[in-house]
DNA sequence: CTGAAAGCGCTAACAG
DNA sequence: CTGTTAGCGCTTTCAG
């Protein structure tokens, strides 16, 4: 069964195909009569516009590419959810690519997007230094680019992130204000700004409240339940005092929490715990887990909106890039409430 | 900056553009020398193939469209994760569409996909009866179609699902074997086969073990924490006996669990609870939540693999549709362990 | 208000 | 091994 084209409709109505094209695009200079006729026959013949042809000709695809580390993460899937909804409302489709934190995949994704002539790329990078090269290429090609959550700092590209420094600060400050004094930090060994910033916030909060930063209480690894557990095992093996944990991610915090409970250590009475990301389980566990909310859906929506705003005025790369920084929201639950 | 095309490369090397095209496509009948030269110049000129043009000409896009209710759900985002990974490994890109369980959106998504000339559509439908019309259209257009999790029963379309009947059965049977006798069921008011099947399993398990089905213990609503809570409130208000809950979804089970604990009712000692979907929080809550695992990632991978297998032999619509049915896995945790 | 004509960048059959 | 040629289905001037 051949697909019907504007030529088929034209033949049917004895007009030229360009008249049909105009009618379908609701061109002003077409009589209401022919428009109606065209629309009717289009429907009757089951016409579906071929976007490949129209995009090839017009140079616009109304498709944007999205790159994320993985969708099997509530954070990213939630942000993508937000992006898709807003972009969709504005007539865009989304091509999706997961990198699994692999640079080769990221490269491949960008290549595919460029070849597919997407109208823009929205990305959360896997590695900041190493990605510089190929993201630079996108800029040179003048393809609109936007980062969310994880941005490459020394690239003049707009971004939507949360204030990770502040997040690290308020999480730590919260623990301090509750009366905890010996606060460990579990963070990622990935060299990403988001984690460095959370750490900076942690460090500065300690300093501001006159608490000492103890290197032995800082653990870096692949964030996960297991990492939280093993870190706690080590921490509890040390002689130094310890009365709180600030983990840069909730599963890690959960691992810490579990190890504490296993050892019969009372949370929050003896040790307080704060996580990061506001995963769904946090509010249901016992004791409920304090955390930092990253406003995922809002981040997605803001990302989409900023993107739409920026591609609205022609020269995307003409103006200085705008950076939207969302405020993190501290969620204080039982696991850190000493008072 | 104009994009470079095969013509630019051809001019540079003083060959025809078709030689260039062949070289780039690794055509056998091209000398190694010219191939190398073409590849070199392509790199130097920053050439990116225009997939729009190639797809328009060849009739294949290597893009498939995916339709899901929402990505802001661990179930669907996890399945999509699995699909994307496998399809990606096989050279396909994914266009994504969220329906928000809205039929109009679903219709729009399909239309967009058809217009984009995707090589296939993978979908989890929002409403089975109402979707019949436009999914029928896809079949008529001979576009490969595949359902996962939620399929339209009376459409000859291949699918990957889990055995929801069996899932409902084993969950209920598990409760019965633990010694519970008065088992309520909380399910969706959406008229979807998956929920009807879980209910059938529940009903048959009761029957098989000689327990009576009590209509007063069956609640239908929009699955959510709140629905779980309110249902329990009502259930506890009734005089009839009640010693277990089987909820068709984990958040609902969690709501039930919370309400029970609020009322000082001991779980699992007085009332047992089993949920559905194996959400991340289940293993961390207290008491940990028994549930049914749906093998989300495997479902995604199987979906992709079946799809790839089916489009490999030419006439997708020639053979009788294959239905892969995955086994649900009962995960027995504290909330239902009486013994 | 409609028609004619050119071309977006590529694939693929046919020649040589 | 390479060139010629004809479109894929649409948008978009330029005419009338």
Does the distance separating the beta carbons of B286 and A281 come in below 8 Å?
Answer: no
| B254 touches A: beta carbon within 8 Å | yes
CA distance B11 to B18: 11
Interface of B with A in 55-94 (CB under 8 A): 55-56, 61, 63, 70-72, 74, 77-78, 80-81, 84-85, 88, 93-94
Q: Which residues of B touch A258 (CB under 8 A)?
A: 284
Q: What is the pLDDT of residues B18-67, one digit of tens each?
A: 899 999 988 888 888 888 889 999 999 999 999 999 999 999 999 999 99
Suggest the residue from B52, B63, B273, B295 to mutate for an interface test with chain A (most A CBs closer than 10 A): B52
A96 and A24 share one domain: no
Contacts of A264 (CB under 8 A, 6+ apart): none
B288 and B178 share one domain: yes
B234 and B198 share one domain: yes
Token pair listed for B60: 């294949």
> How many domains does chain A divide into?
3
Interface of A with B in 291-330 (CB under 8 A): 297
Full 3-state SS string of A137-150: HHHHCCCCEEEECC
A208 and A175 share one domain: yes
Q: Which residues of A touch B95 (CB under 8 A)?
A: 63, 93-96
Q: Which residues of A touch B80 (CB under 8 A)?
A: 71, 77, 96
B216 and B187 share one domain: yes
CATH number at residue A24: 1.10.260.40
Q: Which helix (H) or strand (E) holds A253?
A: helix A250-262
In the beta sheet, which residues pair with residue B96? Answer: A94, B66
Count of CA atoms in the C-beta half-sphere (13 A) of B247: 33
A54 lies in a domain?
A: no
B234 and B267 share one domain: yes
Contacts of A320 (CB under 8 A, 6+ apart): A156
Contacts of B13 (CB under 8 A, 6+ apart): B20, B34, B37, B38, B41
A226 lies in a domain?
A: yes
A185 Cβ within 7 A of any nucleic strand C atom: no
Closest nt to A57 (CA→C1')?
C8
Which residue of chain A comes nearest to B137, CA vs CA?
A46
CATH number at residue A118: 3.40.50.2300
Which residue in this structure is represented by tokens 């890039």? A321
Contacts of A58 (CB under 8 A, 6+ apart): none
A272 lies in a domain?
A: yes
| B96 touches A: beta carbon within 8 Å | yes
Suggest the residue from B77, B83, B108 to mutate for an interface test with chain A (most A CBs closer than 10 A): B77
Q: What is the pLDDT of residues A276-299, one digit of tens each?
A: 999 989 999 989 999 999 999 999
A176 Cβ within 7 A of any nucleic strand D atom: no
A93 lies in a domain?
A: yes
Decide if A156 contacts A320 (C-beta within 8 A): yes
Segments of chain A scoring below 50 in pLDDT: none
| Rounded alpha-carbon distances, angstroms, from residue A46 to A54, A290, A323, B76 | 18, 55, 45, 31
Decide if A331 contacts A166 (C-beta within 8 A): no
Q: What is the pLDDT of residues A171-218, one digit of tens each?
A: 999 999 999 999 999 999 988 899 999 999 999 999 999 999 999 999
A171 and A318 share one domain: no
pLDDT at residue B258, as a whole number: 95
Closest nt to B32 (CA→C1')?
D1
Phi, psi dihedrals of residue B152, rounded to the nearest 5°: -95, 115
A311 lies in a domain?
A: yes
B22 and B92 share one domain: no
Closest nt to B56 (CA→C1')?
D8
pLDDT at residue A59, as a whole number: 92
Segments of chain B scoring below 50 in pLDDT: none
B58 lies in a domain?
A: no
pLDDT at residue B1, as a whole number: 61
Cβ < 7 Å from strand D, B residues 63-102: none
H and E: helices and strands count for chain A: 12, 12
Give the gap in angstroms from C-alpha B62 to the nearest C-alpha of chain A: 10
Give the gap in angstroms from C-alpha A308 to the nearest C-alpha of chain B: 18
B57 lies in a domain?
A: no
B1 lies in a domain?
A: no
A129 and A226 share one domain: no
B285 and B300 share one domain: no
Question: Which bases on strand D have an atom closer than 7 Å to a protein beta carbon?
Answer: 1-5, 7-13
B284 and B195 share one domain: yes
Token pair listed for A302: 């803001």
pLDDT at residue A62, as a whole number: 96
Q: Which domain holds residue B303?
A: 63-162+296-326
pLDDT at residue B62, as a whole number: 96
Does the distance separating the beta carbons of B100 and A95 come in below 8 Å?
Answer: no
A236 and A271 share one domain: yes
Does the distance separating the beta carbons of B81 and A70 come in below 8 Å?
Answer: yes
Q: Which helix (H) or strand (E) holds A65?
A: strand A63-68
Suggest the residue from A83, A93, A136 to mutate for an interface test with chain B (most B CBs closer than 10 A): A93
| A256 touches B: beta carbon within 8 Å | no
Judged by phi (left if over 0) then psi (alpha if -120 to 50, else beta), residue B217 lies in alpha
Q: Which residue places its CA closest to the C1' of nucleotide D8?
A: B57
């Amino acid at each position: 069964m051949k697909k019907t084209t504007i030529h088929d409709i034209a033949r049917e109505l004895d007009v030229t195909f360009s008249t049909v094209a105009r009618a379908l695009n609701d061109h002003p200079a077409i009589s209401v009569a022919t428009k109606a006729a065209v629309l009717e026959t289009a429907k009757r013949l089951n016409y579906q516009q071929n976007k490949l042809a129209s995009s090839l000709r017009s140079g616009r695809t109304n498709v944007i590419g999205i790159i994320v580390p993985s969708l099997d993460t509530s954070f990213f899937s939630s942000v993508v959810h937000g992006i898709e909804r807003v972009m969709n409302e504005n007539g865009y489709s989304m091509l999706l690519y997961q990198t699994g934190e692999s640079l080769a995949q990221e490269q491949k994704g960008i290549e595919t997007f460029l070849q597919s002539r997407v109208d823009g790329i929205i990305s959360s990078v896997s590695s900041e230094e190493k990605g510089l090269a190929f993201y630079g290429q996108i800029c040179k090609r003048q393809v609109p680019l936007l980062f969310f959550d994880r941005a490459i700092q020394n690239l003049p590209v707009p971004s939507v992130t949360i204030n990770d420094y502040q997040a690290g600060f308020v999480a730590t400050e919260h623990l301090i204000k509750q009366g905890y004094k010996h606060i460990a930090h579990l963070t990622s060994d990935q060299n990403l700004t988001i984690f460095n910033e959370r750490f900076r916030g942690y460090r500065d909060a300690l300093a501001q409240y006159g608490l000492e930063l103890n290197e032995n209480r800082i653990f870096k690894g692949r964030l996960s339940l297991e990492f939280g557990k093993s870190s706690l095992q080590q921490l509890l093996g040390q002689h130094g005092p310890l009365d709180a944990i600030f983990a840069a991610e909730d599963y890690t915090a959960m691992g810490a929490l579990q190890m504490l409970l296993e050892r019969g250590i009372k949370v929050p009475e003896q040790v307080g715990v704060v996580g990061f990301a506001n995963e769904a389980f946090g509010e249901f566990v016992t004791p409920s887990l304090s955390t930092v909310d990253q406003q995922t859906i809002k981040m997605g929506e803001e990302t989409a909106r900023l993107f739409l705003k920026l591609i609205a005025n022609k020269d995307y790369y003409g103006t200085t890039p705008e950076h939207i920084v969302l405020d993190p929201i501290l969620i204080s639950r039982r696991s850190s409430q000493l008072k």
